[in-house]
Structure 1
Amino acid sequence: MDSDLINSETSNFSLPQNVTVLGWRPPLWYHYEECAVAPYAFIFYFIVKVFNLALGFPANTLVMWHIATSKSESSTSDVFIFNLAALDTFFCLMTPIELTNRLYLDYWGIWHLQHFAYGVKDTTPLFLTCICLDRYLAVVHPIVFTNIRDNRMRIGISALVWAMILAYAITESILGVLSVTKVFSSLILSSFFIMVFCNISIIWVLRKSVAGKEVMNPVKKKAFKMVVILLAIIVVNYLPPVALMPFASTYTFVQMHCQISVSVFSIMDLSSTIDPILYISKTDRMSCSCLKRTANKPVNINV
């Protein structure tokens, strides 16, 4: 999780770490003195942070605005997508505060707020899992899905997920990273495999539905492409922590805290921008197709 980047000394409630008897000194931009030999992952980390603020924040805001103002019948997954966008918006907005504290202030109070933000981001796979499960039921078990289309159920599930997220983030903020390490490992592993299973199942059903046919239905073809893209994004964003973090005890300090954890969680953070852009591109294509269908309809002109 991002909070692996935080020095355990931030639990000190006296003075910022960069204030000593010799006066103020700027904190290390690569965080640990040991990382001086391999600081390049932190450059990638800062680039991702700025990228998320510049693109992720407006993209997530646009997603929330689109869902909130959409007058057409929305997807049942939009409830979860809205909540996911809200989480990512908060995380993106933390970037100026984090960079200021990490590169200049190094103040313990702000570190606790950063712990909280990292905890929020660490648990975003919960809403991604809800989205994947919702789509899985819609495609693979349509009869069951028709009986649970009521969005009140999804709002209730979202409230439960929020409670879990806040509990996790507050615990990490107060007690530190080590208090939630096992929970995070279990969360990321289970979420990853559930999401992969759901998307592969959807792909299988969509492919099976056109077996023996030369051309796939345009609607199913779009859905198929979207699921394939989503699966690729899930694998790219979440396979690194799933593959690397279980072996954390075998890495050296420099490998773990200066290279692997920084790079892995920077890649995870990219989902704050990739997810809303994917949603926006999907809605734009739907809007274009609707406009084309409208344009092709004959228009009656009464003189």
Structure 2
Amino acid sequence: MERYQSSFNSTFTPTQLPLNTTVPINATKKPFSVIDGCEQYLEAILFDLTFQSFNVIVGIPANLLVIAILIHNRKEASTSDIFLGCLAFMDAYFGVMTPLSFFNLYLWNSKEVWFAIKFTFGVKDTSGPLFRSCICLDRFVAVLFPITFGQLKHIKYRLFLTLVVFCLTCAYSAAKMVGGLPNFEKVFTGEILATFTWMIACNASILWALKKSRGAGKDEMHPMKKKAFKMVLSILCIIVFNYLPPVALFPFEDYYSPDVFRCYVQPVGFAFLNISSTVQPLVYLSRLNRLPFLPEACIKKFSSCFSTENKKSGPTQNPTA
């Protein structure tokens, strides 16, 4: 029997099975239960619940605003905007499904809705790491191989990568929804390790190359390189914050007891992954000074490390160009 991926993410599974389990739903006729088998680890479940609540309250409007800005600036879009737009759409979709999960738990108790929720978790598991990897690839080629980047600047190459990511996301999500595949949870562990390693190595190489590109005795980078440096640095911060916990915890599953891993380790790890649906758009919007749902003092603090260039280029300029 395969292990589930998150105790709270698996909120609506049959009794004795967590919500995000890959075991077929018809394997038992017991009623749904949120915390059955995890009563001693409520802290981890509440921790994950709190993070997912932020996705609903802050993440959904932030992602919709990101999409609106990208559409408004489409005539001056950067090459990475298509990946950012798809990422914002997927994160908004993930946030929308969270209240549906609550309704299904307390009102509907619908197996069909439960399958949709499982599909949503598959989308979140796959689309975020892959689209961020595409953004890193785009910036990596632009900075380290500018001639090649110029030859591959046409949007058709980004559309192809986007289509590949959507296909992989749908395949993974469908498999998670159906369940029953042996060792299926190891697919995500392998994916997150591979994408995390790639993104860290890629962004570190970009930052090193951009810093090295300064001329002797010069303190300022070229404006285009400054934009790339700033975007890469923000992505690197997101990667470390959101992906390091599951990367550090999940590969050591055998060192934990089954109950501790299922009910404590996984909810905590996935909580940091889930909150990326809020962190990603907030970091992007902070560079544009576009956070209308937060107090001005909070905006200044949040965007302090990204605001230097905005004072020169204006608040509506796309920093990912």
TM-score interval, normalised by the smaller of the two chains: 0.7 to 0.9
Corresponding residue number in structure 1 for 2:312: 289
Corresponding residue number in structure 1 for 2:250: 245
Evaluate the alpha carbon distance shift between residue 203 and residue 273 of structure 1 in structure 2; reply closer, same or farther with a 3 A threshold. Answer: same
In 1: Cα distance, 2:202 partner to 2:132 partner: 11
Evaluate the alpha carbon distance shift between residue 47 and residue 177 of structure 1 in structure 2; reply closer, same or farther with a 3 A threshold. Answer: farther
In 2: Cα distance, 1:231 partner to 1:14 partner: 43
Q: Which moved more, 1:97-106 or 1:6-15?
A: 6-15
2:119 to 116, 120, 129: 116
Corresponding residue number in structure 1 for 2:302: none
Q: Is the 8 A contact 1:13 1:108 kept in 2?
A: no
Q: Root-mean-square deviation (CA), in Å? A: 2.7
Corresponding residue number in structure 1 for 2:191: 187
Structure 2 matches for 1:153-232, cutoff 5 A? 153-176=157-180, 180-210=184-214, 212-217=216-221, 219=223, 220-232=225-237
Corresponding residue number in structure 1 for 2:66: 63
Evaluate the alpha carbon distance shift between residue 130 and residue 213 of structure 1 in structure 2; reply closer, same or farther with a 3 A threshold. Answer: same
Evaluate the alpha carbon distance shift between residue 251 and residue 106 of structure 1 in structure 2; reply closer, same or farther with a 3 A threshold. Answer: farther
Q: Which amino acid aligns with 2:282?
A: I
Evaluate the alpha carbon distance shift between residue 191 and residue 208 of structure 1 in structure 2; reply closer, same or farther with a 3 A threshold. Answer: same
Evaluate the alpha carbon distance shift between residue 258 and residue 148 of structure 1 in structure 2; reply closer, same or farther with a 3 A threshold. Answer: same
Q: Is the 8 A contact 1:16 1:105 kept in 2?
A: no
1:39 to 34, 37, 42: 42
CA deviations on 1:102-122 (whole Å, 9 max, x unpaired) are 456554332221110010000
Corresponding residue number in structure 1 for 2:55: 52
Evaluate the alpha carbon distance shift between residue 2 and residue 54 of structure 1 in structure 2; reply closer, same or farther with a 3 A threshold. Answer: farther
Deviation at 1:10, TM superposition (A): 6.6
Q: Which moved more, 1:250-259 or 1:96-105?
A: 96-105
Corresponding residue number in structure 1 for 2:259: 254
Evaluate the alpha carbon distance shift between residue 130 and residue 71 of structure 1 in structure 2; reply closer, same or farther with a 3 A threshold. Answer: closer
The yes-or-no answer on 1:269 pairing with 2:274 is: yes
Corresponding residue number in structure 1 for 2:134: 130
Higher helix residue share: 1
CA deviations on 1:167-223 (whole Å, 9 max, x unpaired) are 110111012575632221221111111111110011101110125324122634454
Evaluate the alpha carbon distance shift between residue 59 and residue 147 of structure 1 in structure 2; reply closer, same or farther with a 3 A threshold. Answer: same
> SS at 1:201's partner residue?
helix
> SS at 1:17's partner residue?
coil
Please say which structure displays the higher CA radius of gyration: 1
Q: Is the 8 A contact 2:59 2:277 kept in 1?
A: yes
Evaluate the alpha carbon distance shift between residue 189 and residue 117 of structure 1 in structure 2; reply closer, same or farther with a 3 A threshold. Answer: same
> SS at 1:94's partner residue?
helix
Corresponding residue number in structure 1 for 2:25: 11
Gaps in structure 1 of 5+ consecutive residues: 19-26, 293-303
Corresponding residue number in structure 1 for 2:293: none
Q: Is the 8 A contact 2:133 2:195 kept in 1?
A: yes
Q: Which amino acid aligns with 1:281?
A: S
Gaps in structure 2 of 5+ consecutive residues: 11-16, 290-306, 316-321
Q: Is the 8 A contact 1:172 1:179 kept in 2?
A: no
Q: Which moved more, 1:257-266 or 1:8-17?
A: 8-17
> Normalising by the residue count of structure 2, what TM-score does the alignment of the two structures yield?
0.80
In 2: Cα distance, 1:71 partner to 1:164 partner: 26
Evaluate the alpha carbon distance shift between residue 2 and residue 101 of structure 1 in structure 2; reply closer, same or farther with a 3 A threshold. Answer: farther
Q: Which moved more, 1:245-254 or 1:76-85?
A: 245-254
CA deviations on 1:227-267 (whole Å, 9 max, x unpaired) are 22321220111111111111112211332112110010010
Corresponding residue number in structure 2 for 1:147: 151
Q: Which amino acid aligns with 2:103?
A: T
In 2: Cα distance, 1:103 partner to 1:260 partner: 26
Q: Is the 8 A contact 2:6 2:270 kept in 1?
A: no
Q: Is the 8 A contact 2:24 2:179 kept in 1?
A: no
In 2: Cα distance, 1:117 partner to 1:282 partner: 29
Q: Which amino acid aligns with 1:268?
A: L
Q: Which moved more, 1:144-153 or 1:182-191?
A: 182-191
In 2: Cα distance, 1:231 partner to 1:176 partner: 35
Evaluate the alpha carbon distance shift between residue 84 and residue 178 of structure 1 in structure 2; reply closer, same or farther with a 3 A threshold. Answer: farther
